[in-house]
Amino acid sequence: MAFYWYQSDPDLYRAEVQAMNKFFPSFTIHQLPDGSGRLYWRGKVQPAGPDGMVWDLMLIYKNDHPHAGASEYGGSIQILPVQPRLKDIATRMMPILEETYGSYENCVRHGFGLGLPHIYRDNFGRNEEYFICTADPKYFKTGMTRSTSAASSLSWACKWILLCEMWMNGEISDDVALEGNY
């Protein structure tokens, strides 16, 4: 009996690998060592180009891939920045935001409750980690013949990273960063 999506749908697994090898050939696929059976891609990107930051990312499939529940931001592929760690960046940004908005409660009201735009938190191993909200669930395709791949999710994540770097550099306003037309 096939327990995991990559066993029950080998064509989808092959399509995922093919897309990643084509568009992001430096990424490699692994299985989490926690017994969950979850697969993940690991690799580095530099969304702002040669002068920008290097981001070491994990793209982790949920075992119900492809799937996108109403509150599953980014669908069944979670993007976890390993280095830099979002939680560390958010911790550094929070005091600046609190100064800007006057209090933590006001930061929450303005959408900056976690210290960065468009992120969410979830348990990962023994830690709580911050993940990138790559796209509203309604944009994550889950059909039998067409589903959002890790390659597409990674392209969304690269756009998010560029946005985040621009926002931290003061190149775009809080409102534009939160608007999410990125």
Partner 1 sequence: MDNNDVVAARRRALQEAIHSGETVMVSPTGQVQLPGESDDPTRPGISVPQGKLA
Q: Can you tell me which of 5, 13, 73, 112 binds partner 1, judged by CB under 8 A?
A: 73
User: Which strand (E) or helix (H) includes residue 24?
Assistant: none
| The amino acid at 38 | R
Could you give the 3-state DSSP secondary structure of residue 83? strand
Nearest to 16 by CA among 26, 8, 7, 6: 6
Between 105 and 124, how does the x/- string for binding to partner 1 read (CB under 8 A)? ------------xx-x----
Can residue 86 be called a binding residue for partner 1 (CB under 8 A)? no
Q: Residue 16: CB partners within 8 Å, gap ≥ 6?
A: 6, 149, 150, 151
Six-digit token pair at 60?
């982790």
Binding residue for partner 1 (CB under 8 A) from 5, 112, 130, 156? 156
181 touching partner 1, by CB under 8 A: yes
Least distance (Å) between residue 60 CB and partner 1? 17
Q: Is 41 in the site for partner 1 (CB under 8 A)?
A: no
By the rule CB under 8 A, 163 interacts with partner 1:
yes
What does the buried/exposed string (b/e) look like for 79-109 if buried means 16 or more CB atoms within 10 Å of the residue's CB?
bbbeeeebbebbeebbeebbeebeeeeebee
Question: Residue 2 or 163: which CB sits closer to partner 1?
Answer: 163
Contact flag: residue 24 with partner 1 (CB under 8 A): yes
User: From the centroid of its chain, how far is CA 90?
Assistant: 15
74 binds partner 1 (CB under 8 A): yes
Closest distance between partner 1 and the C-beta of residue 20, in Å?
A: 10
Interface ranges with partner 1 (CB under 8 A): 23-26, 44-52, 55, 73-74, 117-118, 120, 133-137, 139, 148, 151-152, 154-156, 158-163, 166, 171-172, 176, 180-182
